[in-house]
Chain A
Amino acid sequence: MQEFIWLLPTLPLLGFLSLAITGGSLPKRAVAAIGAGSIGAAFLVAALIAVEFLNAGEEVFVYQAWVWMSVGSFSPGFTFYLDGLSLVMMLIITGVGFLIHLYSTGFMFDDPSYSRFFSYMNLFVAAMLMLVLADNLVLLYLGWEGVGLCSYLLIGFWYENPANGYAARKAFVVTRVGDTSMAIGLFLLFRELGTLNIQDLMIAAQSEWQIGTGMAVACSLLLLGGAVGKSAQLPLQAWLPDAMAGPTPISALIHAATMVTAGVYLIARTHILFELAPSVQLLVAWVGLATLLMAGFTAMTQHDIKRILAYSTISQIGYMFLGLGVGAWSASVFHLMTHAFFKALLFLAAGTVIYSLHHEHDIFKMGGKRKQLPIAFASFMIGSLALAAFPFTSGYFSKDEILLAAYATGGPGVWLWAGGVLGAFLTGIYSFRLVFVVFFGASHGHHDEKEKTGFSMATPLFILMLLSLLGGWIQIPVESVFNHGQAHEEHHVSALIHGIMIAVPLVGIAVSYLFFFSGALSVEKLMSYKFSKILHRFWFSGWAMDALYKHLLINPFMWLARLNRNDFFDALYNSVIAISRSAHGLVAKTQTGYLGWYLISMAAGLTAVLAVGVYL
């Protein structure tokens, strides 16, 4: 079965091709069957491969489909590399991807561009599978750019609204900054080590570079740049909240469960390189911490249900980066998986809320919806518990592991741990603020709408609820990838630390309860202070990052563009045109249309030629 691994990217790609070629002429049922069916089939193949791979007990399986190009010693191939890490990623992508596709068949049913939607979705899954299964960085980069393209296409899916197009461009351009840095990183790696095969690269790096070598630092910094862009971490996080302009299943699949975690995957995949550059690895942790706190504070102030979830995604990926930075590779991948479960659940439930309430996004215009939207309520409850790391939900286990690893690092680890715990406190507040405001209290409008969930939309929600609750008990087979044969080290910390980590999210939930449920504390009162008002505005704007970039980058660029409106080089080329035009005008004047004039000029020309011939 393992040799059929090439089917994994191929099946969604075939789905994409058949949907793209038919161009929307298929009936909707056929589109749904192809769109969701191709991913379902891919998931089946992935599951069978996983069973065989785990039973065989091998650590690695490599399958080369064909050589892509061969230039001297450089011959990257369409080669798929299966180990514990790519196994987990491939199961998440096909599994969660299939659930979201199934959900979309119901959610998008009224959309006129049904077929286009599924063709993009299938292309995305194909590119994402290419990304995680690639055995060399060139193929990985192909998938990396492929998912970026699909992200752009799907954010701007409803392109009639110019704002959506702007959001799509913003996402594309901002991630491009990271992608460029990553491409330079690839060039540098190839020049220094002569290969781009990931495993060879790691071995070569280990044997050629000392720990902390300048080249190792440079390469890992450049790769980190790519990861930061894709995973929406500081300072390139600005695109993700705007990316919520796309349809909600897109936010679930691309901007929560899979694509934005590609940066985490990249760092985990090349972790040996980062281990060779401890300073960069520590930087990863600090970036993660700063991002998770910033996004946590911002999420508390947002009104739009999807923006809250977007900032919470940024924040959770910050946790993953924190884990990567302290060397808790498997914990980060574990959190990636549980996050895929509960964040997909939350987004799909948010989709149900939005869909049922006629595209209402503002949580303060909802209220008291738990009877009206029971399935969404249950989903939000479970998803938020997992998000806030309530004990024994899936998020608890993964976040716990990351924070324990941070605490055990020593040095700055305590501060990282403390920041992470503060982030958990914020997570408790903002996730339950959402739940309390939307589902409890007095209803603010939309009194009569019924929940719209057919079989296709409810089933994925139920499955994801189960996974969010119990996903923490799944053992992911990544030990052999990260530990290089050494036994897993247990983190022993005092009961006090454990107690704090369990209690803090609960305190956060309690604070949220006091503010938004019982009304013992009032937001209005808090906002009456000038200081908190300023702080609120600051956080609401996402720490004014957009304004910062506007002044720092966009305005100077626009200024330059205006300055050079009549492009200097264009003037150069235009002068050539002007000269030949005027020459043409001069010659055209001789074309009078009078026969006599032509004859005279002919005779004069002939005489001149003859004269030249005779006298010279």
Chain B
Amino acid sequence: METIPTEHGLILAGILFVLGFIGVLTRRNIVFVLMSLEIMLNASGLAFIVAAARWGHAEGQIMFLMILTLAAAEVAVGLGLIIQMYRKFQTVDISVLSEMNG
């Protein structure tokens, strides 16, 4: 069976991670920030699966399942916070929330 080389998988994971990170940095809409975070999480999940396939271990896949649950929980909390934020400030622009400065 033809397998995808490990390097390719890792590079894809890296690209996805960087893309997510750039999204977190640049987007001002907090919903998109949250989505970019999901992408970053999935990128690390992909890296786990590639590594697991490379070493023939099941732990990487277990880790991915855990990250998936974690992401679901995180989104639940995050969306709740976003709704609160919208109710309070009538906006989802993250740069508005900059009062806690030195």
| Chain A positions near chain B (C-beta within 8 angstroms) | 587-596, 599-600, 603
- A591 CB contact (under 8 Å) in B26, B97, B102: B102
Question: Cβ of A603: which chain B residues have Cβ within 8 Å of it?
Answer: 21
Q: In this complex, which of A591, A596, A599, A600 has the most chain B Cβ atoms within 10 angstroms of its Cβ?
A: A596
The answer to whether B98 and A594 touch across the interface, beta carbons within 8 angstroms, is yes
A150 to B95 alpha-carbon distance, docked (Å): 69
The reply to whether B25 and A599 form a contact with Cβ atoms under 8 Å apart is: yes
- A68, chain B: closest CB distance, angstroms: 57
A593 touches B24 (CB 8 A): no
Which label, helix, strand, loop or mixed, suits the secondary structure of the A interface? helix
Q: Is the CB of B94 within 8 A of A590?
A: no
Contact of B95 with A594 in the complex, beta carbons under 8 Å:
yes
Q: Is the CB of B25 within 8 A of A593?
A: no
B101 in complex: contacting residue of A593, A596, A599, A600, CB < 8 Å: A593
For A599, the chain B residues whose CB sits under 8 A away are 21, 24-25
- B35: min CB distance to chain A, Å: 15
Q: Out of B25, B33, B101, which one reaches A592, CB within 8 Å?
A: B101
Give chain A nearest CB distance to B42 CB in angstroms: 18
Q: Is B2 an interface residue (CB 8 A)?
A: no
Tell me if A600 and B25 are in contact (CB < 8 A). Answer: yes
Query: Chain B interface residue count: which class?
Result: 10 to 19
B100 at the interface (CB under 8 A from A): yes
Cross-chain contact B102 with A596 (CB below 8 angstroms): no
- Determine the distance from Cα of A594 to Cα of B24 in the docked complex, in whole angstroms: 12
From B21, B26, B33, B99, A593 is in contact (CB under 8 Å) with: B99
Across the interface, which residues of A come within 8 angstroms of B94, CB to CB? 595-596
Asked if residues A590 and B102 are in contact (CB atoms below 8 Å), the reply is: yes
- Given A593-B97, A595-B94, A599-B25: 19 more A-B contacts, CB < 8 Å: A588-B102, A589-B102, A590-B102, A591-B100, A591-B101, A591-B102, A592-B98, A592-B101, A593-B98, A593-B99, A593-B101, A594-B95, A594-B98, A595-B33, A595-B97, A596-B24, A596-B25, A596-B26, A596-B94
Whole-angstrom CA separation of A590 from B24 in the bound complex: 19
**Residues in B whose Cβ lies below 8 Å from that of A589:** 102
Contact code string B22-53 (vs A, CB < 8 Å = 1, else 0): 00111000000100000000000000000000
Contact residues of B between 85 and 102, Cβ < 8 Å to A: 94-95, 97-102
Q: Can you offer 21 A-B residue contacts whose CB atoms are under 8 A?
A: A588-B102, A589-B102, A590-B102, A591-B100, A591-B101, A592-B98, A592-B101, A593-B97, A593-B98, A593-B101, A594-B95, A594-B98, A595-B33, A595-B97, A596-B25, A596-B26, A596-B94, A599-B21, A599-B25, A600-B25, A603-B21
Q: Which residue of A lies closest to B24 (CB)?
A: A599
User: Which residues from B are CB-within-8-Å of A596?
Assistant: 24-26, 94
Beta-carbon nearest neighbor of A596 in chain B: B25
Q: How far is A178 from B3 in the complex, measured between Cα atoms in Å?
A: 101
Q: Which 8 A-B pairs have the closest CB atoms?
A: A588-B102, A591-B102, A593-B98, A593-B101, A593-B100, A596-B25, A592-B101, A594-B98
Chain A residues near B21: list those with CB within 8 A. Answer: 599, 603
In the complex, how many angstroms separate the beta carbon of A359 from the nearest chain B beta carbon?
A: 64
Q: How far is the CB of B78 from chain A (nearest CB, A)?
A: 13
Q: Which residues in A have their C-beta under 8 angstroms from that of B102?
A: 587-592
- Complex contacts, A588 vs chain B, CB 8 Å: 102
B89 smallest CB distance to A (angstroms): 14
Q: How far is the CA of A566 from the CA of B54 in the complex (A)?
A: 73
- B26's nearest neighbour on chain A, judged by CB, is A596
- Distance between A497 CB and nearest chain B CB, rounded to angstroms: 93
In the bound complex, CA of A591 to CA of B98 (Å): 10
CB distance from B17 to the nearest CB of A (A): 11
* Closest Cβ neighbor of A590 among chain B residues: B102
Assembly CA distance A497 to B43 (angstroms):
122
Q: Which residues of A contact B97 (CB under 8 A)?
A: 593, 595
Complex CA–CA separation, A119 to B95 (angstroms): 69
Residue of A nearest to B27 (CB): A596
Minimal beta-carbon separation of A67 from chain B (angstroms): 60
Q: Which residues of B contact A600 (CB under 8 A)?
A: 25
Residues of chain B contacted by A595 (CB below 8 angstroms): 33, 94, 97
